[in-house]
Amino acid sequence: MAEAALPGSNSSAAAGARKAVQDLNAPLWRNVLFVSPYLFFFVTLLVVPLFWGIWLSLHKADAFGTGRFVGLDNYFRLFRDKIFLQVVGNTFYFVLLTVPALAVIGLLLALALNRNTRTAAALRAVYFASSVLSVTIVTLIWRTVFIGNFGLLATVYGWFGATAPAFLSDPTLAMIGIAIATVWWCIGLPMMLFLSALQQVPREIYEAASLDNASRWRTLWHITLPSIRRTFVLVIIIEIVLQFQLFGQAWLMTKGGPNNASKPIVLYIYEATFIKWDLGLGAAASEILFILIMIAALAQYFISRRKGEEG
């Protein structure tokens, strides 16, 4: 640094350095060395498997090899399979159960806890805590809540001489039970996203509103909510993408039952591929899930783009 601070002390070195600065922007093959270690794994373990998956979905394949080319037959098989149509419906139902609940509860918590007190900080920590647990622990916890005879729910209902709803064994309630466990598990993220959005609303707007003697509800309705509208849409999309991939909760709490009532797409893929070893069918189902998620992800991309333009 000391040398650089003395201009002209060594003119040839300075010229070399100037050339070096120009080199910074020259496209050089050796610069690829910095990105190539990552790109190696990116290509071999993400790009190639992605196209290989599409290829597999057009073949009859088992665990160790690719069989004959069958065209779109795997896709036709899926759409003729009543269970596949049912699991697509189940997945949409699950998204419908969880995503609005996560967005609304997350928003309410953020509004309630957006303040600088120790109590609020502690409560934020409590509400986020479940998010760091693994799906295994979450389902273990919720099965001990829901399970008949000795669950927490059954015990509490028992005090009042009532029978608890059989969340995991009743086909009409199984998905709702999984949704409750999922909202409990995932509520931290939407709450935090809303909190950071609320903190970005300029303070001056609130001050102006309080000078106008605007009521609390009016301030909430006309200032706070409109200014976090984009975050609301973003949370919805993020959660749609996440909840579309429901797997562990359903597999560990109900095995998709009873009668496939709580079986989501990913569980169908898992069973087709890794239990029945019908890799072509599993791959075709994966591609359909991929397309569904892609639609949501594209929406997210365009919305965060718009955010960049306005900011």
Partner 1 sequence: MSSVSSGMVGRSAGDRIVLMLTIAMAIVMMAPIAWVVALSLKDNKELMTDMNSVFHVPYTIANYINILATSSVFRWILNSVIVSGVLTILTLVLSSLAGYGFARLNFPFRNALLILVLLGLAVPEQAVLIARHQLFSWLKFHNTYHGLILPGLAAPFGVFLMTQYFRAIPKELDEAALLDNASRFKIFWKVLLPLTLPAQATLGIFTFLSSWNDYFWPLISGTKKEMYTLTIGIASTQTNFAQSEGLGFLMSQAVFAGAPILILYLFFQKYIVTAVSGAAVR
> What residues numbered 90-109 form the site for partner 1, per CB under 8 A?
109
User: Hey, what are 216's tokens?
Assistant: 């609390």
Binding-site member from 172, 199, 200, 245 for partner 1 (CB under 8 A): 245
Binding-site member from 9, 89, 136, 222 for partner 1 (CB under 8 A): 136
Beta carbon of residue 80, minimum distance to partner 1 (angstroms, whole number): 21
* Euclidean distance between CA atoms 139 and 146, whole angstroms: 10
* Euclidean distance between CA atoms 217 and 210, whole angstroms: 12
Beta carbon of residue 121, minimum distance to partner 1 (angstroms, whole number): 9
Q: Are the CB atoms for 103 and 239 separated by under 8 Å?
A: yes
Judged by CB under 8 A, the stretch of 71-79, 86-94, 95-103, 152-160 that binds partner 1 is: 152-160
Residue with tokens 């598990």: 185
Judged by CB under 8 A, the stretch of 73-81, 92-100, 220-228, 271-279 that binds partner 1 is: 271-279
Binding-site member from 11, 63, 309, 310 for partner 1 (CB under 8 A): 63
Beta carbon of residue 237, minimum distance to partner 1 (angstroms, whole number): 10
- Running DSSP on this structure, what letter comes out for residue 10? S
According to the 3-state scheme, what is the secondary structure of 120-153?
HHHHHHHHHHHHHCCHHHHHHHHHHHHCCCCCHH
User: Hey, what are 22's tokens?
Assistant: 């120009």
Beta carbon of residue 200, minimum distance to partner 1 (angstroms, whole number): 13
Does position 199 interact with partner 1 (CB under 8 A)? The reply is no
Beta carbon of residue 160, minimum distance to partner 1 (angstroms, whole number): 13
Q: Which is nearer to partner 1, 41 or 160 (CB)?
A: 41
Beta carbon of residue 261, minimum distance to partner 1 (angstroms, whole number): 19
**Residues in region 201-240 near partner 1 by CB under 8 A:** 210-211, 216, 234, 238
Q: Which is nearer to partner 1, 82 or 291 (CB)?
A: 291
Does position 200 interact with partner 1 (CB under 8 A)? The reply is no
Beta carbon of residue 9, minimum distance to partner 1 (angstroms, whole number): 12
Q: Is 111 exposed, middle or buried (0-12, 13-18, 19+ CB in 10 A)?
A: middle
In 3D space, the residue among 101, 177, 104, 170 whose CA is nearest the CA of residue 139 turns out to be 177
Q: Which is nearer to partner 1, 46 or 204 (CB)?
A: 46
Question: Which ranges of the chain would DSSP assign to H, the alpha helix?
Answer: 11-23, 32-42, 48-57, 73-80, 82-113, 118-129, 135-146, 152-159, 174-186, 188-199, 203-211, 216-219, 225-227, 229-244, 248-253, 265-274, 279-310
